[in-house]
Amino acid sequence: MGRLKGKVAIVTGASGGIGRAITREFLEEECVVIGFNYVSSAESTHEGLYYEYVVDITDRVAVEGAVKDVINKFGRVDILINNAGITKDNLIYRMSYEEWDSVINTNLTGAFNMIKATIREIVKNEGVIINISSVVGLEGNIGQANYAASKAGLIGLTKSLAKEFGRKNVRANAIAPGFIETPMTEKLPEDIKKAALEKISMKRFGKPEEVAKLVKFLVLDGTYINGQVIVIDGGMEL
């Protein structure tokens, strides 16, 4: 029997590389997983354990309505994984306001919207919140001011959540992946990938499953870990 059997987790961006791996890890634990995706995916129902909502997480009203429906249908929410994220890279002097706003609204405000809509239920169930940040949120990166700001904001949000709700036995942690083999990194030019590999002591990109296993550890076994940022980057020099 999975230790998460009977629990309900919401995973944003569940159809992406890391999100899909997290979903599968939780399904192996017999957890009910609710995927909040911007567009519909081809993910199967996994014997009645996976359900999908097509939701724009930047739309507060849509998020609140979807979360209420989840609670009505499944009776609870125990775990929130804020994984959804986008990039619109550009140097600051070329970056448009739309490129700034869309990344901040999806990566940071979207996470806030999800937390705001679920927090009472998570507190009631002494649940867990995991925010997927990035090493870029810790170190910054050329051409990614919007993405770095959004991921740094997630770290500040995580630490504030831990302080506010730790007394309620709710844990909030952030994970900061480095280069992971996802559709997002596949789009990178080959010279960028090569330069990145030279900075990674393990000389390879991480796998989505490695991030997902860390998420599961923090949910299941990291019962005294709160307000932390866990870097998973293969030993990368920035």
84: in domain: yes
CATH number of the structural domain spanning residue 15: 3.40.50.720
pLDDT at residue 46 tops 70: no
pLDDT band at 184 (very low <50, low <70, confident <90, very high): confident
What pLDDT, on a 0 to 100 scale, did the predictor assign at position 57? 98
How many domains does the structure of the chain reveal?
1
Per the annotation, the verdict on 147 as an active-site residue is yes
For residue 88, give its domain range.
8-230
237: in domain: no
Given 38, 50, 53, 147, the catalytic residue: 147
102: in domain: yes
3: in domain: no
pLDDT band at 237 (very low <50, low <70, confident <90, very high): confident
86: in domain: yes
pLDDT digits (tens, 9 = 90+) for 23-32: 999 999 999 9
Q: Mind spelling out the 3-state secondary structure of the chain? A: CCCCCCCEEEEECCCCHHHHHHHHHHHHCCCEEEEEECCCCCCCCCCCCEEEEECCCCCHHHHHHHHHHHHHHHCCCCEEEECCCCCCCECCCCCCHHHHHHHHHHHHHHHHHHHHHHHHHHHHCCCEEEEECCHHHHHCCCCEHHHHHHHHHHHHHHHHHHHHHHHHCCEEEEEEECCECCHHHHCCCHHHHHHHHHHECCCCCECHHHHHHHHHHHHHCCCCCCCCEEEECCCECC
pTM of this structure: 0.95
Give me the mean pLDDT over the 96-121 stretch: 98
pLDDT digits (tens, 9 = 90+) for 135-160: 999 999 999 999 999 999 999 999 99
236: in domain: no
